[in-house]
């Protein structure tokens, strides 16, 4: 079987036309989706980039593979020590390669995040540039397409291709943004919501959209109104459109080779992106729906029901387990993923009852998601001190997660909290379990890219002394004495 996995950074499913988006952002991916199945409720177990792709490589939740943040305490990938490799928790790539599959990646992820474990098991690893994830889709394809022309007609390969274009900064040709100048815009957030966000002063908030003072024309300076919001959305959608153009070039190459209908495609993302939810823009900074809900499209040659949409809850680690079973292998006993292969074969399948999701880069949060409710417990807010300790969203009536209704539904809060506790107990009983990496991040604080003192100085520089003092009072220590 020829398998191509498109790993698209920061991609929201509701910004893809095959998921019903009004803008025709993904016509080439739409073509693939029409031949396969589209999952409406796929979630990354741990966000953002490093935790998610560590799950991709290991088949495990972040609490078990250990890399729950990008580096430092709580970011150490956990793997059995000594010579040789584990049979119970093998790397996905090594497991596939051992079974006779040629495993190939075109990705600069391991270079960008200094992730030694990402390099395990591939037959071929192509970083194609030294830009550490800042390359555009044309630069990726410049390396991928020659490989396809040379090797695409071979059998039994797993080809992983990563595109970064929906991730900031948007560095594609500006005309891909300008194509949306007359395109409609989603209703959320409306002018009143944006106006209410002007007082917020955390990173990637409406008034503090950028960490520094330089940004490309594809991004607005701030989100002051709906016009600025449209600028941001046009920029994001431009990145998606540019990436999709590259996917079209892949399809053209497969068509030239005569194998377009003989390739199994998996299309997904490491995480998605906040676009105004919780006041956060163009960032993946929390364990919220906007960040954790990711696309998943799978097409297998000869599928009985092409174009089908499936609603059951799945994790990204379930995708890895499913690929493994699809090629005739058993799912390793130490993986956390569960195969949903019956869903691809037209059999009975209903998905998981609920999911537990976590984030520990910018905040320390764990969430529980079921068909109706989204529960979040915040252990450490980092610079996002507007997050309540306990949050409950009614996703049926509030899909944009604007109202915390925890006080109105104490029984639901109790049930969701019980599910979270039960899940933690289940992880602790697994062989080889070590300390919860979340606790390590809580101890040191989720301050990898931005330190408290740095943000306090930025607030003061922008004349926001009241907010600086408020943040200083939350994290009071000698290093945060006023500069005035």
Which residues of the chain have a pLDDT value below 70?
477-484
Ordered DSSP codes for 106-149: E--HHHHTT-GGGGSS-SEEE---SSTT---HHHHHHHHHHHHH
Single pTM value for the model: 0.96
In the chain, CATH 3.40.720.10 covers 2-348
User: Is the CB of residue 287 less than 8 Å from the CB of residue 376?
Assistant: yes
Residue written as tokens 């960032």? 283
Residues 96, 103 contacting (CB under 8 angstroms): yes
How far is it, in rounded angstroms, from Cα 166 to Cα 365?
24
Burial class, 40, CB count within 10 angstroms (exposed 0-12 / middle 13-18 / buried 19+): middle
Range list for CATH 3.30.1120.10 in the chain: 357-480
Q: What's the Rg (C-alpha) of the chain? A: 22
Superfamily the domain 2-348 falls into: Alkaline Phosphatase, subunit A (3.40.720.10)
* φ/ψ of residue 373, rounded to 5: -110, 150
- Quote the pLDDT of residue 478: 40
Distance separating alpha carbons of residues 122 and 91, to the nearest angstrom:
10
pLDDT of residue 83: 80
Closest residue by Cα to residue 296 from 29, 24, 118, 3: 29
User: Terminus-to-terminus CA distance in the chain, angstroms?
Assistant: 66
Characterize the bridge pairing of strands 364-369 and 373-380: antiparallel
Task: Write the pLDDT tens digit of every residue in 212-264.
Answer: 889 999 999 999 999 999 999 999 999 999 999 999 999 999 999 999 999 99
> Could you tell me if residue 59 is left (phi over 0), alpha (psi between -120 and 50 degrees) or otherwise beta?
left
CATH of domain 357-480: 3.30.1120.10
pLDDT in tens, 69-101: 999 999 999 998 888 899 999 999 999 999 999
DSSP state of 331: P
């Amino acid at each position: 079987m020829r398998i191509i996995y498109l790993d698209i950074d920061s991609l929201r499913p509701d910004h893809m036309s095959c998921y019903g988006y009004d803008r025709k952002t993904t016509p080439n991916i739409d073509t693939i989706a029409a031949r396969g199945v589209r999952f409406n409720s796929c979630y990354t177990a741990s966000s953002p980039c490093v935790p998610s792709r560590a799950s991709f490589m290991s088949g495990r939740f972040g609490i078990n593979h250990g890399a729950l943040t990008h580096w430092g305490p709580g970011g150490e990938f956990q793997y059995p020590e000594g010579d040789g490799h584990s049979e119970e928790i093998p790397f996905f790539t090594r497991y596939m390669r051992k079974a006779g599959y040629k495993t190939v990646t075109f990705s600069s992820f391991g270079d960008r995040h200094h992730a030694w474990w990402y390099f395990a098991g591939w037959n071929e690893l192509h970083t194609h540039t030294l830009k550490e994830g800042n390359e555009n889709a044309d630069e990726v394809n410049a390396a991928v397409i020659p490989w396809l022309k040379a090797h695409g007609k071979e059998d039994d390969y797993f080809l992983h291709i990563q595109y970064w274009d929906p991730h900031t900064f948007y560095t594609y040709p500006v005309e891909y943004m300008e194509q949306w100048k007359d395109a409609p815009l989603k209703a959320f957030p409306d002018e009143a919501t944006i106006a209410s966000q002007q007082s917020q002063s955390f990173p990637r908030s409406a008034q503090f959209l950028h960490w520094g003072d330089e940004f490309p024309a594809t991004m607005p300076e701030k989100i002051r109104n709906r016009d600025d919001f449209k600028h941001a959305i046009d920029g994001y959608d431009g990145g998606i459109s540019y990436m999709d153009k590259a996917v079209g070039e892949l399809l053209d190459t497969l068509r030239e080779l005569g194998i377009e209908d003989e390739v199994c495609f998996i299309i997904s993302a490491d995480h998605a992106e906040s676009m105004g939810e919780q006041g956060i823009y163009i960032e993946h900074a929390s364990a919220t729906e906007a960040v954790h809900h990711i696309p998943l499209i799978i097409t297998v040659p000869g599928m009985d029901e092409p174009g089908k949409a499936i609603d059951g809850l799945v994790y990204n680690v379930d995708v890895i387990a499913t690929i493994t079973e699809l090629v005739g292998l058993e799912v390793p006993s130490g993986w956390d993923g569960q195969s949903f292969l019956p869903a691809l074969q037209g059999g009975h399948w209903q998905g998981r009852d609920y999911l537990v999701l976590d984030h520990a880069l910018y905040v320390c949060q764990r969430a529980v998601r079921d068909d109706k409710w989204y529960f979040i417990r915040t252990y450490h807010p980092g610079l996002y001190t507007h997050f309540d300790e306990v949050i409950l969203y009614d996703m049926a009536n509030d899909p944009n997660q604007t109202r915390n209704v925890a006080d109105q539904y104490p029984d639901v809060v109790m049930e969701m909290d019980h599910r979270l506790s039960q899940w933690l107990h289940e992880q602790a009983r697994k062989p080889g379990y070590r300390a919860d990496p979340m606790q390590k991040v809580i101890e040191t604080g989720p301050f990898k890219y931005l330190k408290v003192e740095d943000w306090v100085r930025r607030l003061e520089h922008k004349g926001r002394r009241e907010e600086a003092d408020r943040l200083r009072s939350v994290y009071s220590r000698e290093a945060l004495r006023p500069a005035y």
